[in-house]
Amino acid sequence: MHRTRFQAAAYAACFVFTVVGCGSSGSKNEPPPLVLPDLQYGTRHFAGSALSGPDPDRPEPSATEPSEAFGVTCRMRYYEALPELDLPPLGTEARMIGTMRGEDAILASAVFATHLHYAAPDRTPEILDRLAAQTGDRSAELHEFDGALFPNTCAVFSATSPETVELAIDPEAQRRVALLVSRDADDRIDVAFVIDQLAKPGDGDDVVPEDPDAPDFDPFRSEQGGRVLQREFVLLETPPRLDGGPALLVVPSPFEGDARGGFATTIEVTRAPQDGPRADVHATAVAACLTEIRAENEKAREAARRLDDQELDARQIAEALRNLRIDRVQRRTLVFLTSSTGALLAEDLALIVEESGLAAYANAIVAYSQQEGGALEAADGLGWVLERGAYSYLIAKLSDETIRPSEHGLLLKYTGEVGNFPAVLEDALLASKSREDFLRRVADENRFFLEDHNVSARVRAFDWLSARGPVPAGYDPLDDAQARRAALTADRERRESENAAPESRP
């Protein structure tokens, strides 16, 4: 009887040691079965881009044939324990990083900036081989996503926890990871990665344990009460190219109870397959793409009708300002945002401003937007915020006589002779509510300089006005004073007559 109990205890101890990894290599006990995360997978398409999201003003694709759509395939594999990999953090490969906690823009968390990794197509095979060698049979393919990309469309592949949590802003909030792949009108591919998590509102960083390397680190752990949805977003600087092979995204599991696990997802964009099983898969993805774009367009139009324009501006501005506070991405962020919003002066300045002045330029934009009643009242939103910041930066340097010739040249290009007078420019800027309003004031000031005694001022003002619309008939800046005065008087009387004509009608 005692011998039987001893044997039972020995067998039990052996089983425990095997489970925790301390058993001898000769143990015949099989490892426990691989437990896969319980996730729901989804694919959808919309007209727009990875950055813009669904765009209600974007027309549906004019092309509808499968041969005209790129194919995009993502394969998601689960690893029970992710090994250390010689890969750059995802944050270093980012063109833009953004985080919204509820309605507030915040800095990206450490896990997002350092614990996610990206491999370009040239390193993907090597990393996948290393993962296979180090994890053995403790991994499994979870899902294969297939999508289709016409010009100006985006495919979204998502994995979502089925568990829901009731929040004040969302009664069925869920933890989710999503990959967005879009194609623009010039066939450029953009890739963005999104994580939705639950967090405590406020400015504190105590939503997660202080040590992100702790074994029980769970970046999605929520505090009791007052939770909000936190969304982290990264737009890749170097996404995979068309027919350039698969890129790889390695992500620690964001789902509860899976602290050591993680996912490796390959992303590949190819031309439409012409035959075989892949051609059938592609045709199915194209049909789904077209159907979903119609539905998403209607949904986006409805959402746009409900969303107040001022709120939309506020969200856009908050996200941009958060990126402008990150030194290493300031120039890239400025160039990207200014080129996307038609802020021409701001874009040119972002390209030429010296590194020593870059932070001051970015801070001028942030400071200008934070003035009472400032950016959120602007009719044309973020583009005007960027322009105002650029003008403010250049006006300050012109006033201090520290402006570089190339920077002064920009002022003269965009404001004519007014670009030599910082006080006049500043008055016009402070009084303006939009780009159009500002340009009207600058045009009026340049007309004033047509009467200046200095021939260089007259020529500069005349050239600026000529490039932007009609100038006084018969006026030549090189004529004598009497001829110039006669032309300007005739033009003034004509404009006064045109302005008075509507009032005189019955």
Give the confidence band of 198 by pLDDT, cuts at 50, 70, 90: low
3-state SS class at 76: strand
Tokens of 128: 């996948």
Q: How far is CA 247 from the centre of its chain?
A: 20
Whether residue 377 has pLDDT greater than 60: no
Spatial distance between the Cα atoms of 189 and 50, rounded to a whole number of angstroms: 9
Q: How far is CA 330 from CA 333, 366, 396, in A?
A: 5, 12, 20
Count of other CB atoms within 10 angstroms of residue 372: 4
In percent, the amount of the chain with pLDDT more than 70 equals 73
Spatial distance between the Cα atoms of 421 and 456, rounded to a whole number of angstroms: 14
Specify the amino acid at residue 261: G
Pairing of strands 139-149, 70-79: antiparallel
pLDDT digits over 328-370, tens only? Answer: 778 887 887 788 778 899 899 988 888 888 888 888 777 766 6
Spatial distance between the Cα atoms of 13 and 55, rounded to a whole number of angstroms: 61
Q: Which residues pair with 269 in a beta bridge?
A: 72
Mean pLDDT of the chain, nearest integer: 78
Closest among 236, 274, 268, 288 to 72, alpha carbons compared: 268
- What's the average model confidence in pLDDT over 241-262? 85
Pair 153, 292: CB distance under 8 Å: no
Spatial distance between the Cα atoms of 16 and 173, rounded to a whole number of angstroms: 38
Residue 139 makes CB contacts below 8 A (sequence gap 6+) with: 34, 77, 78, 79, 80, 131, 132
Whether residue 479 has pLDDT greater than 50: yes
Give the confidence band of 134 by pLDDT, cuts at 50, 70, 90: very high
Tokens of 468: 């932007």
Q: Which residues pair with 231 in a beta bridge?
A: 100, 196
Q: Is the dihedral of CA 87, 174, 48, 285 positive or negative?
A: positive
Residue 80 makes CB contacts below 8 A (sequence gap 6+) with: 34, 35, 135, 138, 139, 260, 261
> Which position has the token pair 């301390």?
22
Lowest mean pLDDT, pick from 38-42, 50-54, 144-148, 199-203: 199-203
Closest among 297, 38, 298, 287 to 146, alpha carbons compared: 287
pLDDT digits over 86-125, tens only? Answer: 888 887 888 887 776 655 555 555 455 567 899 999 999 9
Spatial distance between the Cα atoms of 177 and 185, rounded to a whole number of angstroms: 27
- What's the average model confidence in pLDDT over 323-329? 71
Specify the amino acid at residue 467: A
pTM above 0.85, yes or no: no
Tokens of 444: 């009026």
Spatial distance between the Cα atoms of 267 and 74, rounded to a whole number of angstroms: 5
pLDDT digits over 254-280, tens only? Answer: 776 666 888 999 999 999 998 889 999
| Helical residues (DSSP H) of 195-235, grouped into ranges | none
Spatial distance between the Cα atoms of 292 and 45, rounded to a whole number of angstroms: 6
- What's the average model confidence in pLDDT over 29-54? 88
Count of other CB atoms within 10 angstroms of residue 99: 21
- Order of strands across the sheet with 104-105? 53-54, 40-49, 153-160, 176-183, 189-199, 228-236, 94-101, 104-105
Whether residue 441 has pLDDT greater than 70: yes
Whether residue 379 has pLDDT greater than 90: no
pLDDT for 166: 57
